[in-house]
Amino acid sequence: MSRIAYVNGRYVPHRDAAVHIEDRGYQFSDGVYEVCEVRDGRLVDERRHMERLARSLGELRIPNPMTPKALSAVLHETVARNRVTNGIVYLQVTRGVARRDHAFPPEGTLPAVVVTARTIERWKGEREAVNGVTVVSYPENRWSRPDIKSVSLLGNVLAKQFAKEKGAREAWYVDRDGFVTEGSSSNAWIVTADNKVMTHGASNGILRGITRTVILDVMKAHNVTLDERPFTLEQAFAAKEAFVTAASQIVLPVISIDGRPVGDGKPGPIATALRRDFHNHAEFT
């Protein structure tokens, strides 16, 4: 079955799907995106993802491409046309097509919208969660607004490639002050020796993950104590547990950081419990 993409108002097979060479997303990475988990054919936390999309667009002064209702219909239709039961749906909005010029294009330039969806077999994530994943540290290399979910991901690309070449699943960014900010495509968490869960505050220094937001609710339900503060690599080395969160991965326990085992080197009970209960706190549409 050929994959189908939504491109500026039309559903087209991937091989025929194309954007203009002067799309500002292509030339300036002048655009934003969202990734939503699809589970049992439904979108997970669509409302929160769309709220974050609106925020990202607003921060960059890109006009809203369509009404929330129309956008929701496109997301669901793309999932259905690709027969995705479990996987992800990807949405990208750029500032549109205009003659190359750094400053914003003329008023009235239409934003460009692309939506794709793909299957990710559920057992693959489950297997990773059971085995745990490894991370390596990497110096923060991004601009000062990673809170905007921009398609400008060059820093993240380099960090993830570094991790891959080290045989690790994820790179954890360490800022100039020695604090772990987040992963190259996930939020970063540790569990301290006294059972407090630490994660960087949702300031401008990280992306406020939707999975992160829901996990905070799950933690409350489990009476897990939150210490929402940046932690250092040294604290991470001494942690009982560590984990990462992202829409495409939910919660993945981290079993080693820079080659040092976390705790007993196995997925920890808190990360495992949070993962297990996540979808009871998420919204499905």
Stretch of 120-128, 133-141, 204-212, 226-234 contacting ligand PDD, by CB under 6 A: 204-212
Catalytic residue among 69, 149, 196, 220: 149
Q: Any contact of residue 200 with ligand PDD (CB under 6 A)?
A: no
Q: Any contact of residue 182 with ligand PDD (CB under 6 A)?
A: yes
The secondary structure element, H or E, covering residue 24 is helix 24-28
Q: Any contact of residue 209 with ligand PDD (CB under 6 A)?
A: yes
The distance of closest approach from Cβ of residue 15 to ligand PDD in the complex, given in angstroms and rounded to an integer, is: 23
The distance of closest approach from Cβ of residue 107 to ligand PDD in the complex, given in angstroms and rounded to an integer, is: 31
Tell me the H-state helices in the chain: 24-28, 46-60, 68-81, 122-131, 154-165, 210-221, 233-237, 269-281
Q: Any contact of residue 134 with ligand PDD (CB under 6 A)?
A: no
Looking at the Cβ atoms of 91 and 98, the one nearer to ligand PDD is 91
Residues 43, 44, 45: CA angle, nearest 5 degrees: 115
Q: What SS3 state is found at 58?
A: helix
Stretch of 104-112, 116-124, 185-193, 255-263 contacting ligand PDD, by CB under 6 A: 185-193
Q: Any contact of residue 210 with ligand PDD (CB under 6 A)?
A: yes
**CA pair distance 53, 91, nearest whole angstrom:** 9
Question: Mask of contacts with ligand PDD, 16-55, x by CB under 6 A?
Answer: -------------------x--------------------
Q: Any contact of residue 212 with ligand PDD (CB under 6 A)?
A: yes
Residue 266 falls in the annotated catalytic set: no
Of 196, 195, 219, nearest in space to 281 by CA: 219
**CA pair distance 169, 161, nearest whole angstrom:** 10
Give the other-Cβ count within 10 Å of 280's Cβ. 10
Q: Which of residues 218-237 bind ligand PDD (CB under 6 A)?
A: none
Q: Which tokens sit at 18?
A: 């194309």
Judge whether 209 and 181 are in contact, CB under 8 Å: no
**CA pair distance 243, 232, nearest whole angstrom:** 15
Which residues make beta-bridge pairs with 244? 188, 252
Q: Which tokens sit at 141?
A: 């290399």
Looking at the Cβ atoms of 245 and 256, the one nearer to ligand PDD is 245
Site residues, ligand PDD (CB under 6 A): 35, 156, 182, 185-187, 207, 209-212, 245-248
Q: Which residues belong to the active site?
A: 149
